[in-house]
Amino acid sequence: MRVLIINRAERARSLDTLYEGVIALNPGSRMIKLTKEEIHDLPRTLAQLDTSGYERVLFDIPLRRAAHAFDSVRALPGLVYYEEDAYQEFMGESKFYGKFLRFFESLRGAPVIYTSESVRTYFARQGVNAHFVPKAFDDRQLKDLGQPRDIDLAFVGRIKSKVYGRRKELLDRVAEATPLQLLRTENPDEYLAVLNRIRFFLSADIGFNEYMAKNFEAMACGCVLVAKRQPTEDGLLGLVDMQNVVHYDTVEELLEKYRQLLAAPGQAQAIAQAGHDLVFERHRLSQRAEAFSRVLALPHPNPQGISRPSLLRRLGSLFSRA
């Protein structure tokens, strides 16, 4: 199966480990990375793209960046769409609230890979050809360095976007009662170093219906992961409360378990070690290449692409007003 992978040149979290694995499993495949300028002018970029000789085109440009040109995207032969942000379908804070379904319905059977089982289930029930492959950590970059940890409790990531409003609210409440640090890093090496300084990593994926990659990344680096419970995902991912992760539903539960583990450092270390072992066994980015390849190998409902100009213009107009 020859696959053309369309990726982004600039992204906060590289998926090169994943896509190089897909290429290794599918001889004759290749990856191209589009610049911001090429994505901005996506219709022209795709019109000039030679897709001949490829049975599948794996498209990894998020809807928020591709919506203006999804008529061109939809016409790609053998299209398989990868979307990491489909949880925004359910978040009123997002300008794409309720609009992902309209887009994916217009793909008329082309497979879509989602990073949440609960999100996949929703879209599948609406008739989308939906598949689930969870996020993971980059095992070429992240690991436990075995160094002393001088940051007791921290969150690393973004909080300024409207989509993260509930995340910020929770973090602010926790910061009032604990020494929580809110941190940002500028590059992969700095991120690795910071994660290896943190004892308890606070994940605040509020309203996302999935676990963001940073959960697996923190566990891989030896942190005790303190994470908002995502019931549909936990059993599928192997996450067990107070065994390899610390779950919470409320701030009160979070604080109670945090204080319990401060008083029981041996238990905290056991949870961190079990979480580390879990993600290295099941949630390495290199492992996801096989799951992607299985989706790519499925019979495609429209290997030659589709083009319905009137419908595409109407949907394009809808998204241009988003």
- The candidate with the shortest Cα–Cα distance to 96, out of 115, 83, 110, 80, is 83
Q: For residue 307, is pLDDT > 80?
A: no
**Sorting pLDDT into bands at 50, 70 and 90, what band is 305?**
low
Q: Which residues contact 235 (CB under 8 A, 6 or more apart)?
A: none
Q: What are phi and psi of 227, to 5 degrees?
A: -130, 145
Are 174 and 91 found together in one domain?
A: no
- Overall domain count for the chain: 2
Are 101 and 75 spatial neighbours (Cβ–Cβ below 8 Å)?
Answer: no
Are 131 and 171 found together in one domain?
A: no
Q: For residue 211, is pLDDT > 80?
A: yes
- Residue 89 to residues 60, 93, 130, 164, 175, Cα–Cα distance (Å): 18, 10, 15, 14, 29
Instruction: Determine the Cα–Cα distance for residues 248 and 129; give it in Å rounded to an integer.
Output: 33
Are 155 and 131 found together in one domain?
A: no
* Mean pLDDT, rounded, of the chain: 91
Are 253 and 241 spatial neighbours (Cβ–Cβ below 8 Å)?
Answer: no
Are 253 and 272 spatial neighbours (Cβ–Cβ below 8 Å)?
Answer: no
Instruction: Determine the Cα–Cα distance for residues 182 and 156; give it in Å rounded to an integer.
Output: 6
| Domain containing residue 67: CATH number | 3.40.50
* pLDDT tens by residue, 232-280: 999 999 999 999 999 999 999 999 999 999 999 999 999 999 999 999 9
Q: What is the pLDDT of residue 304?
A: 66
Instruction: Determine the Cα–Cα distance for residues 257 and 260; give it in Å rounded to an integer.
Output: 5
* pLDDT tens by residue, 128-185: 999 999 999 999 999 999 999 999 999 998 877 666 678 889 999 999 999 999 999 9
Are 122 and 171 found together in one domain?
A: no
Are 294 and 251 found together in one domain?
A: no
Mean pLDDT of 197-217: 93
DSSP state of 300: P
Are 247 and 130 found together in one domain?
A: no
The answer to the question of residue 196 being in a domain is yes
Torsional class of 142: left (φ above 0), alpha (ψ -120 to 50), beta (otherwise):
beta
DSSP state of 245: B
Are 292 and 272 found together in one domain?
A: no
* pLDDT tens by residue, 58-84: 999 999 899 999 899 999 999 999 999
Question: Tokens 């020859």 label which residue?
Answer: 2
The answer to the question of residue 142 being in a domain is no
The pTM of the full predicted model, rounded to 2 decimals, is 0.90
* pLDDT tens by residue, 99-129: 899 999 999 899 999 999 999 999 999 999 9
Which residue range is the domain that position 83 belongs to?
3-136+286-320
Mean pLDDT of 289-317: 68
Six-digit token string for 277: 């072992």
* pLDDT tens by residue, 218-234: 999 999 999 999 999 99
